[in-house]
Amino acid sequence: MSEQDIKATLQQQVLNALHNETALNICGGGSKSFLGNANQSNTQVIDVTRHCGIVEYDPRELVLTARSGTSLSQIETVLAEAGQMLAFEPPHFGNNASLGGTVACGLSGPRRPYSGSARDFVLGCKLLNGQGDILSFGGQVMKNVAGYDVSRLMVGAYGTLGILLDISLKVLPRSPSSVTLARKCNAAEAIKSMSALLSQPYPVDAACYNAELLYIRLSGSAQAVKEARTKISGETVSEADTFWEKLREHQLPFFNNNIPLYRIMVKPATPPLAINGTCLLDWGGAQRWLYSNEDIAEIRRQVEPVGGHVSMFRGAISGGEKFQPLPASTLLIHQRLKSSFDPKNIFNRGRLYSAL
């Protein structure tokens, strides 16, 4: 089936769902299907995996355009051959991770505080909306957007606004040199150290605290890494790439747990929070993974006073929202956006918030 035929098939499925007012569950590789709320009953699956392939990539331009069903592994392999990378270091959470699911969930890896989030690297997209129209937003250069940048609005929307078809991303060269240092300390000392590094001219591109060890990754030119290495204490970590990959993919021993996993976002310098459970600090202290049997409402009551928010990443919830509840004014904006793109509410109904 040609690419045009695949698009036409997807478009017809949306039109049929619109006519019948049937809810659609957008499905790619399925590696992130555990995120968000469960699919509502009486939904139909719309599979986008056949809509795949790299559309355009010129390493000299630092821009790649690919279809949403393209596997993340294929994209990263092609980029690596040209000495480039997806700088936001997206997690896969499975061998079938696709570009569309990666962008729709808006997840970023350990490099996020230092290089930018997934949203920062999206330049443009093609979208199939809830009225069966194919819309184009943005482009393939950073200065191609005037007014509201709709393409970046799709990042983290969990498919509630439409089906991503094609996505253009800014890519970056891989660092020629990298070293990871580790030293033993307590959580408070780790937070203080990671926060201090944010104001220093060192090529830090990842920092986390796990199992009483503070890990700092330095990446850049060989000279810059060498100089920074002499000013930051810690022992060199062997097989560092494996460590950061396992952190990104939630494969470290810390993540071998069956109780609920919460994702807490706070200011990096926030002291350790007195919440029952076990915690891993990432993003220089800004992203905190917590395993706890505490009720999510109680965790939010402890996190909100420090300006943070909480989402349930893995696990079941009995009442309430998995993602941080929105203020009424913000929820109204979300509802208006949803109504503009998907007036019959057919896409991923309730996946992000019950009111969407």
Residue 141 has pLDDT above 60, yes or no: no
Per-residue pLDDT band at 153 (split at 50, 70, 90): very high
Determine the Cα–Cα distance for residues 9 and 283; give it in Å rounded to an integer. 41
Task: Give percent of the chain with pLDDT exceeding 90.
Answer: 90
* Token representation of residue 5: 């035929």
Residue 1 has pLDDT above 80, yes or no: no
Residue 139 has pLDDT above 80, yes or no: no
Residue 144 has pLDDT above 60, yes or no: no
Going 173 to 176 to 177 to 180, the CA torsion angle's sign is positive
pTM (predicted TM-score): 0.94
pLDDT at residue 31, rounded to an integer? 95
What pLDDT, in 10s, does the model give residues 239-262?
999 999 999 999 999 999 999 999
CB distance 139 to 56 below 8 Å: no
Determine the Cα–Cα distance for residues 14 and 307; give it in Å rounded to an integer. 40
Three-state secondary-structure class, residue 209: strand
Residue 17 has pLDDT above 60, yes or no: yes
What pLDDT, in 10s, does the model give residues 65-90?
999 999 999 999 999 999 999 999 99
CB distance 77 to 71 below 8 Å: no
Mean pLDDT value of segment 48-60: 96
How many Å separate Cα 178 from the centre of its chain?
Answer: 23
HSE at residue 120, side-chain half, CA atoms within 13 A, is 15
By CB atoms closer than 10 A (0-12, 13-18, 19+), residue 129 is middle
* Token representation of residue 175: 């660092």
Q: What is the DSSP string of 118-154?
A: HHHHEEEEEEE-TTS-EEEEE-SSTT---SS-HHHHT
Residue 295 has pLDDT above 70, yes or no: yes
Determine the Cα–Cα distance for residues 82 and 137; give it in Å rounded to an integer. 27
Domains annotated for the chain, with CATH where assigned, are 3-173+334-341 (3.30.465.10), 178-314 (no CATH)
DSSP letter at 347? B
* Token representation of residue 164: 């991503």
User: Which stretch of DSSP H or E encloses residue 214?
Assistant: strand 213-220
Q: What is the DSSP string of 225-261?
A: HHHHHTTS--EEPTTHHHHHHHHHTT-SGGG---S-E
Three-state secondary-structure class, residue 12: helix
